[in-house]
Structure 1
Amino acid sequence: MTEISVIGGGSWATALVKILTENKVHVHWYLRRQVQVEAINDQGMNPDYLSFVKLDTQYLTASADLDHVLQQSPTILFVVPSAHFPALCSSIDPAIMQDKQVITSIKGTVGKDNVLPSAFVSNYFGIPASRQAVLAGPCHAEEIGMGKKTYMTICSANDAFLEQLKPCFRSRYLAINLHDDIAGIEYAAIYKNVVGLVCGMAKGLQYGDNFMAVLVANAIYELELLLKGLHVDDQRIACSSYLGDLLVTAYSPHSRNRSFGELIGRGYSVEQTQNAMSMVAEGYAATQGLYETAKNLGLNMPIINTAYRVLYNHMAVTSEFKLLERNMI
């Protein structure tokens, strides 16, 4: 694979563009803001995200023209917040996408029906699973930017597509795990953002490491319960493809979801927290989607319930955590 069109201009998109261009894959990159486009094309850097990363412009062309970028490559990589994905797709002529291969790296449920990003792509553009792949963690964009050792998961039902993608992302600091469980990996990637929020709330409330360990252990149990409730194929979830992202999001200071939750735990309102954050915390929207999913499945998931009541019912975080304490096992 020699070229990929990347849609999205945040830190994770920037990290993925860095990897691709280092592997001499030509990237056609769509960003909404012209100031980003000009800085990338002229200086090889994204002024808004991971600005310390120098990108190889020999293999990179940025543009604010979405249709133009989509037409440049047979493979499209969507790296946008889940809440923005439906509006983005509504601005795309379905005819452009007719023969495309699509990769998504979107960590939230999509639309009013709370579907997975891969399912949304199938429903909206008619692109079958055989022409789709999913990129997942465990990884933070900041550490990829610094070239720190990282493991990434690429999922697809199409083995040939996986083999095409593997050399595009593998590098001296990046190891690749290949997987075929798209739904399971996507749900794990979405759920981990809610866990990151709740762990951040615990930190903001000054809970210690002992409680945090119990919280994360219960989160692993909840994830297993969720996957079984969704009839996702029975998998060994105790591996990095499922749990790695959950653990790094729960504990790392790089996690924007953890930072979001910490501000909530310290007494900030949702609106104040959103205004204080320079980047989107996917866990906020993911909480609502997973809460509705768990409710429809009849699952009792105290961690998701806590996040939902604090963020959407505006319940006091201190009292909700006292209730959560009693539901830990």
Structure 2
Amino acid sequence: MTEISVIGGGSWATALVKILTENKVRVSWYLRRQLQVEAINEEGINPDYLDFVKLDTRYLEASTDLQHVLRQTSTALFVVPSAHFPALCEEIRPEWLRGKSVLTSIKGTVGKENNLPSAYVSQKFAIEEMQQAILAGPCHAEEIAMGKKTYMTICSPNDRLLQLLEPCFSNRYVHVNLDHDICGIEYAAIFKNVIGLVCGMAKGLNYGDNFLAVLVSNAIHELQILLEGLYVPKAQIGRSSYLGDLLVTAYSPHSRNRTFGELIGRGYSVEQTQTLMSMVAEGYAATQGLFQTAKELGLNLPIVNTAYRVLYNHMPVAAEFKLLERNIT
């Protein structure tokens, strides 16, 4: 495989394009803003995200024409916020994806039914799971941009697709793990963003490392409850694609979800926080989706409940954490 269409113009998409073009994979890249496209094609720089990264334009063509981008390759990689994914899909005709492999790296539930991104793609475009793969962490775009050692996971039930994708993303600083558990790892990627928000809230409220360690330990237990409730086959929760992704989001200063939560903990409203941040924190929308999923399954997830009550019921964050203190061990 030597060609991939990338849909999305943020920091994570930019980091993945960096990896692909360094590996001499030809990239057809869809971005909405014409100024981004011009800067990328002329200078190899995304002016809005990771603008210190120089991309190899020999293997890259950016465009605002979605149909053109999708028709250039046999594989489409979607890297957009989950809240924006349904509207984007409305712009795509099913025939543009017919016969293609679809790779998603979207870390939130999608639509009113709170679908996984892979399930949404299956329903919307009649693309079988064997034609799909997901790309997961633990990794931050900023560290990939700096060439720091990173481990990521590609999941698909299709071993042939995994073998085709693996060399596209592996390089001297990126190690790629292969897995078959699309459902489990997709849910883990969504869940960890909610936990990142709550860890940020704790920091904003001036809780210390002792409390944070207990919070994260309980979060791991909640993830296990969630996966068992979803009847996910025995997930190896200690692996980097589960636990590692949760930990890096909970502790890293690069985590936009942790930053979002910290501002909430310091007393900012959701609207003020969204205005202050230039990037989307997936955990905000993911909180609503996970809360509804847990409710439908009859699961008690105190940390997820706390996030929901603070973000959507507008309950005082300090009071909610006092309640949370009594519901974790």
Shared fold, TM over 0.5:
yes
Q: Could you say what secondary structure the match of 2:304 adopts?
A: helix
Deviation at 1:323, TM superposition (A): 0.2
Residue equivalent to 1:145: 145
Residue equivalent to 2:7: 7
Deviation per residue, 1:202-248 (Å, 9 max, x gap):
00000000000000000000000000000001121111011111000
Code of the residue aligned with 1:7 in structure 2: it is: I
Q: Distance in 2 between matches of 1:118 and 1:262?
A: 30
Give the alignment of 1:194-233 within 5 angstroms: 194-233=194-233
Q: Distance in 1 between matches of 2:220 and 2:140?
A: 20
Residue equivalent to 1:92: 92
Deviation at 1:135, TM superposition (A): 0.1
Deviation per residue, 1:28-87 (Å, 9 max, x gap):
000000000000000001000000100000000000011110110010000000000000
Q: Distance in 1 between matches of 2:63 and 2:243?
A: 36
Q: Could you say what secondary structure the match of 1:61 adopts?
A: strand
The answer on 1:70 being equivalent to 2:70 is yes
The answer on 1:136 being equivalent to 2:136 is yes
Deviation at 1:98, TM superposition (A): 1.3
Q: Distance in 2 between matches of 1:228 and 1:60?
A: 42
Residue equivalent to 2:183: 183
Residue equivalent to 1:259: 259
Task: State the percentage of identical aligned residues.
Answer: 76
Deviation per residue, 1:234-289 (Å, 9 max, x gap):
12111101111100000000000000000000000000000000000000000000
Code of the residue aligned with 1:86 in structure 2: it is: P
CA RMSD of aligned residues (A): 0.4
Task: Show structure 2 runs of 5+ residues with no match.
Answer: none
Code of the residue aligned with 1:282 in structure 2: it is: E
TM-score (norm 1): 1.00
Q: Distance in 1 between matches of 2:261 and 2:93?
A: 38
TM-score (norm 2): 1.00
The answer on 1:30 being equivalent to 2:45 is no
Q: Could you say what secondary structure the match of 1:135 adopts?
A: strand
Residue equivalent to 1:327: 327
Deviation per residue, 1:139-159 (Å, 9 max, x gap):
000000000000000000000
Q: Distance in 1 between matches of 2:175 and 2:2?
A: 20
Aligned length, in residue pairs: 329
Code of the residue aligned with 1:85 in structure 2: it is: F
The answer on 1:18 being equivalent to 2:18 is yes
Deviation at 1:299, TM superposition (A): 0.4
Code of the residue aligned with 1:321 in structure 2: it is: F
Deviation per residue, 1:98-155 (Å, 9 max, x gap):
1111000000000000000000000000000110000000000000000000000000
Code of the residue aligned with 2:185 in structure 1: it is: I
Q: Distance in 2 between matches of 1:241 and 1:257?
A: 18
Q: Could you say what secondary structure the match of 1:241 adopts?
A: helix
Q: Distance in 2 between matches of 1:265 and 1:208?
A: 13
Deviation at 1:96, TM superposition (A): 1.1
The answer on 1:120 being equivalent to 2:120 is yes
Code of the residue aligned with 2:200 in structure 1: it is: G
Code of the residue aligned with 1:15 in structure 2: it is: A
Runs of 4+ in 1 over 2 A off after TM superposition: none
Code of the residue aligned with 1:179 in structure 2: it is: D
Q: Distance in 2 between matches of 1:245 and 1:43?
A: 33
Deviation at 1:95, TM superposition (A): 1.2
Task: Show structure 1 runs of 5+ residues with no match.
Answer: none
Code of the residue aligned with 1:230 in structure 2: it is: L
Deviation at 1:97, TM superposition (A): 1.1
Code of the residue aligned with 1:184 in structure 2: it is: G
Q: Distance in 2 between matches of 1:166 and 1:21?
A: 14
Code of the residue aligned with 1:284 in structure 2: it is: Y
Q: Distance in 2 between matches of 1:325 and 1:258?
A: 19
Residue equivalent to 1:244: 244
Deviation at 1:186, TM superposition (A): 0.1
Deviation at 1:15, TM superposition (A): 0.3
Code of the residue aligned with 1:43 in structure 2: it is: E
